[in-house]
Amino acid sequence: MDIESYIDLNIFAYWLCNYPIFGRKAYKWIKKIEESPKGKYVTSSLTLYQTLMIIASLTGKNLKDEELVKEIVHSITCLPGLAIALLTAKDLTEEISLMEKYKLDYEDALHLAVVLRNKQKK
């Protein structure tokens, strides 16, 4: 299965919050993911955590709110075309060189490590 795209935090946050400017565009991405075979799109477990943090912050809730957590996790994990890649020890060590090479912050370097690892699986 060829990975078509890596899905980052913004798509999920804009979609789940129905963001006025980018919400519609994010929804179109989600529809593509829903209609695709498993693994056509990939994100990382870091993205799931970041989405939880952002939405909790925007709604004034926190991660102790089990209903919020269940709703967000279910919304993302039930997307048929989406695979969620777990972070590996190699991702956590490789990100330092990616930070330096591409002038990225820690989180973006972790995402890039996941992208590169999954791209190599083609």
For the segment 70-85, what is each residue's pLDDT rounded down to a tens digit?
Answer: 999 999 999 999 999 9
The pLDDT, as a whole number, for residue 11 is 96
Over range 57-63, report the average pLDDT.
Answer: 94
| Contact (Cβ atoms closer than 8 angstroms) between residue 50 and residue 107 | yes
Three-state SS for 85? strand
| Contact (Cβ atoms closer than 8 angstroms) between residue 6 and residue 118 | yes
Confidence of residue 121 (pLDDT cuts 50, 70, 90): low
Distances, alpha carbon 26 to alpha carbons 34, 84, 95, 113, 119, in Å: 12, 18, 27, 23, 23
Compute the distance between CA of residue 49 and CA of residue 42 in angstroms, rounded to an integer.
15
Over range 10-28, report the average pLDDT.
Answer: 94
pTM equals: 0.87
| Contact (Cβ atoms closer than 8 angstroms) between residue 101 and residue 94 | no
Q: Where are the domains of the chain?
A: 1-86, 88-122
